[in-house]
Structure 1
Amino acid sequence: MRTDLVIERFEPDRAARAGFAAYHDVVKACQAADRPGEPTLPLEELIGRLKKPMPGMGRAVHWVGLRHRDVVAVAEVFLLDEENSDIAMVNVKVHPEHRRAGIGSALLCAILPELKAQERRVIEGGDVVAGTAGQLWADAVGFRQVRRVVRQALITATADRTRWDVPVPGGYRLEYWEGTAPENLIESYALARGAIRDAPLGDSGYRWPEYTVERVRAAEAELRSQSMLQRLVVAVHEASGAVAAFTELCVHPRRPDWGYQRDTAVVAEHRGNGLGRCVKAHMLRRLVTDAPEVRWISTTTGAENMHMIRVNDEVGYTTLPTLIAVQGELTAVEARLGAVRRSPAVRSRIDRPGNGSGDRQRGTSGRVADGS
């Protein structure tokens, strides 16, 4: 255990640019070590995410670990809501030069009181890269692996666009919209979104949302509040007029060259007709025409969902290093880390308002398990 570690809260709304830059330094170093060759998260995008979490993640809370006033580690907590209000998504990053010194464990100990105060029962982390120091740390701390997640990316400049020449199956037509579902399709679209619940989640405690028209409209409004452009391609069953399949892709103005492939699902009674590949292929063809600035599209899929992984392969995605989702009951994690928490070697200032938000900070960032 480092005897000079100080743990503080990081307040994005009060932080100076120097603090964000230091946070970003930790993120970049962790990515270079654990995800070599991937595009680095830009500083401005990091600042935007810290000030306002990506839609669907709930409220976020942040901490930093400092040595000699330098930020060497960060921790980030997403307090999920609705069906998942008992779960805290906890992400920890430790600079590669400072790993294996107990810093990640000390950060985790420091945030446990907040999780208890928020009545969280389960801690989950989904950003552990398989085979890295993060996986070793998560195992050592006592988290269990509950799910493997396949990460895939498509680079539009080098993609084989002939793979997008996919005909629309007979009996269906495609519809496209941006931002707001049309009134004549909103009810069946909300029902179709519920098909995502068939996507496997392994042993994760996370529960898919129960989609209603109201929740769809609320989600659309949340995306608009962040100026995210949401694109939808849906397949409509001609005989019934109902949405049979959909795919969703978002682009944020802070990162206009990056597309976020979000949910794709096919309603059960319409599966086996090639609709998943069809809507994804037509989304890509539309995207490169309407938004040629988008150069990199990322997506994640549960490793058990071989069908969707195959669909992604067919339209040109390539596979990146696998992620591991980990989980632990809060009480069990607290007991496992009890000895660390009682150690006098770690000084904590997390109860003092304003600490961690001034100019003196030189680093900051988060995700459960990029070293300890």
Structure 2
Amino acid sequence: MGAEPFDVAGAAEEDLRAVHRVMLAAQAVDRPDEAPLTFEALVGALRTPPAGFGPRRCWVLRRGGGIVAIAFANFPEAENGHLSLVTITVHPEQRRQGVGTAFLRDLLPELEGRTVVEGWEITRGGAGEHWATAVGFRVVNTMVLQLLSVAEVDRATWDVPAPAGYRVEDWAGATPDALLGSLAWARNALRDAPFGDIDFQAPLWTPERVREAEADLRARGVDQRMVVAVHEESGDVVGVTEVEVRPHRPRWASQRETSVLRAHRGHGLGRCIKAHMAWRLLADRPDIERFYTTTSADNTHMIRVNEAIGYRTVRTLVSVKQDVAVLASHPGVRG
């Protein structure tokens, strides 16, 4: 039993089906309130990983000839070049037998010299958190997962006019040239948001990095939508919210960052642009069934903004991290 590199692009359907069985069984135990992950959605997610987190490598672990666990490691770049984002999923029938720990032991030398490992979106109080802390990880942030069901929401909550002195603009794909510079500056406001003690740093946006990110999303087939608040007097973008609709889940909208420059907070711009986003996206894509987002549990203001337009909190999640050297020397991992 050992970690085996897994080529997602060239994998045989039999192996992909085996990975799907692992993920489906884990979901039934760890997130039983979610709709079961379809095979098509899994394959799409494997082949179109989220943008912004660098290249991704995958491994599987076999036992008795079958795949019993899968791991992903992302290797962010630039500000996060020291960091690897790792997810290990073990079939529930194989848990408490040292499978996850053996997998981690095999993966640590494969992390391309990264010095810190983080794991995100682990259900608080679940098997994943208990295992992670047992092998030496520290809990460093708490998030909430919030969902907005389009069929259930009162759309009147989206009737939020722009405050005096501001206007709302929106687009799909490429940012208009006239707004590019101020959009990049406004997106950097996200770096003020609370994220606990995680190492991952939000990008330091420049116009060039915005264009690179837009091109990356187009290459992945992702429908990226932006809604911004523009300050009338200066003509600058001062608030921004982003949604992505990925090709493997065309009825789910991933609500990504929302940020407002500090000097323009307190006017309700966050709620305004998020509400406008819901109206605008559904006008173009009426088949969207739900929006989902994660927000730091410390960011009580943004949680209330989301609730005001119809989101409800469905799960609390934790993030964990540890130095690679500490994990490698931990008695439970070292063996």
Q: Same fold (TM over 0.5)?
A: yes
Taking the TM superposition and a 5 Å limit, the aligned residue runs for 1:66-77 are 66-77=62-73
Aligned to 1:94: 90
Aligned partner of 1:273 in structure 2 is 267
Contact 2:2 2:106 in 1 (8 A): no
Please give the alpha-carbon distance, in whole angstroms, between the structure 1 residues aligned to 2:161 and 2:121. Answer: 36
Find the aligned partners of 2:10 and 2:249 in 1 and give their Cα distance: 23
Shift of 1:341: 4.8
Residue 49 of structure 1 deviates from its aligned partner by 2.8
| Structure 2 residue corresponding to 1:84, chosen from 67, 76, 80 | 80
Displacement of 1:44 in angstroms is 2.2
Decide which of 226, 251, 271 is 2:245's aligned counterpart.
Answer: 251
Q: Secondary structure at the match of 1:292?
A: coil
CA distance in 2, matches of 1:308, 1:64: 37
Q: Report 1:317-328 matches (<5 A).
A: 317-328=311-322
What is the DSSP-based 3-state SS (H/G/I as helix, E as strand, rest coil) of the residue aligned with 2:89? strand
Task: Establish whether residue 157 from structure 1 lines up as the match of residue 151 from structure 2.
Answer: yes
| Equivalent residue letter for 1:228 | V
**Equivalent residue for 2:131, pick from 134, 137, 153:** 137
| Deviations 1:176-196 (CA, angstroms, capped at 9, x unpaired) | 100011011111111000111
Aligned equivalent of 2:328, options 331, 334, 354: 334
Q: For each residue in 1:13-56, what CA deviation from the matched residue of structure 2 results, as whole angstroms up to 9, or x when unmatched?
A: 22111111111111111111111121233322322332342211
- In the TM superposition, 1:137-216 aligns within 5 A as 137-216=131-210
Q: For 1:234, which of 212, 219, 228 is the aligned residue?
A: 228
The CA deviation string for residues 289-325 of structure 1, in whole angstroms up to 9 with x for no partner, is 2211110111001111111011001000010211100
* Distance in 2 of aligned mates of 1:266 and 1:64: 41
Q: Which residue of 1 aligns with 2:214?
A: 220
Write the distance in 2 (CA, Å) between the matches of 1:52 and 1:113. 25
Alignment-mate amino acid for residue 70 of structure 2: V
| Structure 2 residue aligned with 1:291 | 285
Query: Is the aligned partner of 1:34 residue 2:34?
Result: no
Supply the AA of the counterpart residue of 2:131. W
Partner letter of residue 247 of structure 2?
P
CA contact (8 A) 2:45 2:248 kept: no
Mapped contact 1:156–1:288 kept (Cα < 8 A): no
Using the TM superposition, give the Cα deviation of residue 254 of structure 1 relative to its aligned residue in structure 2, in angstroms: 2.1
The alpha carbon displacement at 1:248 in A equals: 0.7
Tell me how far 1:236 sits from its aligned partner: 0.5
Letter in 1 for 2:308: E
Structure 2 counterpart of 1:324, one-letter code: V
CA contact (8 A) 1:106 1:341 kept: no
Structure-1 separation of matches of 2:59 and 2:262: 43
User: Quick one: distance in 1 between partners of 2:132 and 2:25?
Assistant: 19
Residue 15 of structure 2 aligns with which residue?
Answer: 19
**Which blocks of at least 5 consecutive residues in structure 1 are unaligned?**
343-372
Q: What is the aligned-residue RMSD (CA, Å)?
A: 1.2
**Does the 8 A contact of 2:44 with 2:247 survive in 1?**
no
CA deviation digits over 1:316-363, x for unaligned, max 9?
A: 0010211100001000000015x6555xxxxxxxxxxxxxxxxxxxxx
Q: Secondary structure at the match of 1:210?
A: coil
Matched positions, count: 335
Matches within 5 A, 1:342-353: none
Q: What is the aligned-residue identity percentage?
A: 47
> RCO (CA 8 Å, sep 6+): is it higher in 1 or 2?
1
> Helix, strand or coil: the match of 2:248?
coil
1:256 deviates by: 0.9
Equivalent residue runs for 1:306-325 within 5 Å: 306-325=300-319
- Quick one: which of 42, 49, 62 aligns to 2:45? 49
